[in-house]
Structure 1
Amino acid sequence: MMIETDRLTLRPYNTSDFDAYLRMVSDPNVVQFLGGQPMPAEDAWNRLLRYAGHWAYFDYGMFAVFERSSGRFIGETGLADFHRGLGHDFDGVGEAAWVFTSESQGRGYAYEAAMAALKWYGSSADRQRTVCLIAPDNRPSLILAEKLGYVSFGNVVYRGGPFTTLERTSIG
């Protein structure tokens, strides 16, 4: 599975993406809203394997995102079933997610990639509603979610911190 946009290539992760992925999730600026601590190599490796499992079991998952012009890894986006235990109105629905390298932020890449992934995911009639979970102080992600068509439908405590739950009900 591969998606191309004007500027980006999205494809499922390969194990060869590990070093670039580890650099991204080790950057304190990137992880400030993702637990706040750089991710250890073992956890990053396990996450890549979890992503592969999504594709194997659900036929959807997280995409590694690359700049088409340079081939450089710039982040990830996609949808997953993270089984967070947040209730029937959240779990079991495709959960959108995005994380981008510090160097690629502010260029519109996250919107371009996430919209492409959402349109691809929503091309199946039974997958119209998606959700996402964002820390209320993560203004850039909240702004992006709004641009993507997400609206808040509640607040939860997840892993000891406050989060906003958002939903999107169409692919358009």
Structure 2
Amino acid sequence: MKKQIVKAVAMGVAVAGLVGASIPTVYAGSKSATFQVTLTVQADCSINTNPLNFGSTGVLSSNIDQQTNLNVTCSTGTPYAVALDAGTPTGSTVASRLLANAGATGTVKYNLYQDAARTQVWGQTAGTDTVAGTGTGTAQSIMVYGRVPAQNTPAPDTYQSTVTATVTF
């Protein structure tokens, strides 16, 4: 009988514990306070480029046209300008860009343009020969048009240049 009484008491304590656990706590009152959350968005831009590949050819007897794009992302409303430098080979200028082979013993003339008609050379003087825009807060794709004009063909080799694209804002 004692065992039954001990079991009954133990069960009663367990049930009382469960019932007590489900009773919500009652609070006497509450107080509130506010705080500010801020973020300062500054004028900013980033630029990403893609390679321009004129492919493979033999004699340079006619124009070779190709295009690529670059992406500019600027804060909404931020005016920007994109400049392209002359490239890395010695003697290369914005007006007359050059591709050079590894030993710099040969060059191929080419240029980069702002328009598909290839009439506006893309350079690095803001307000003169750069491409301008206004940021939208998302990436804006800008086409770069390239042309290797007909010219005397140099020795067979791979010709290249590294052009730096700069966004100013």
Instruction: Name the TM-score class by shorter chain.
Output: under 0.3
TM-score (norm 2): 0.22
Which structure has the bigger radius of gyration?
2
Which structure: greater helix fraction? 1
